[in-house]
Amino acid sequence: MNLTISGHHLEVTPALREYVLTKLDRVTRHFEQVVDISVVLSVEKRREKERRQKADVTLRVKGRDIFVEQAHEDLYAAIDQLMDKLDRQVCRHKDKVQQHHHAAAKRIAA
């Protein structure tokens, strides 16, 4: 599994990196077939007074790419909400993959 954590207009501190890793552990525990994870943490200036902290994740699994983004005033809160969304999407993808495995049809004797 390749993991990339980067910052846009933001320096990724060791505390932020560790926080993201602990939150990602919950997602990777549900689904083992994760190929690549790319996390981008950024600070946007939408208005002069209001700064928005934004986090987005691109998670590549076999057969699908899952993209989730979340913005909040606090970066840690944005990461929490982002991981909740990502967890729901990974569980939904896992359910879809598991539902397609049906038992083989039996041959009818003629």
Is 107 a member of any domain?
A: no
Q: CA-based Rg of the chain, rounded to a whole angstrom?
A: 18
Domain that holds residue 62: 2-99
Split at pLDDT 50, 70, 90, the class of 35 is confident
| Number of domains composing the chain | 1
Is 82 a member of any domain?
A: yes
Does residue 48 have a pLDDT over 60? Answer: no
Query: What CATH number should be reported for the domain holding residue 30?
Result: 3.30.160.100
What pLDDT score was predicted for residue 108? 61
Is 106 a member of any domain?
A: no
Does residue 107 have a pLDDT over 70? Answer: no
Is 104 a member of any domain?
A: no
Q: Which residues of 32-47 are buried (b: 16+ CB within 10 A; e: fewer)?
A: eebeebbbbbbeeeee
**Are residues 7 and 40 in contact, defined by beta-carbon separation less than 8 angstroms?**
yes
Report pTM.
0.81
Is 43 a member of any domain?
A: yes
Considering only residues 44 and 55, tell me which one the structure prediction assigns the higher pLDDT: 55
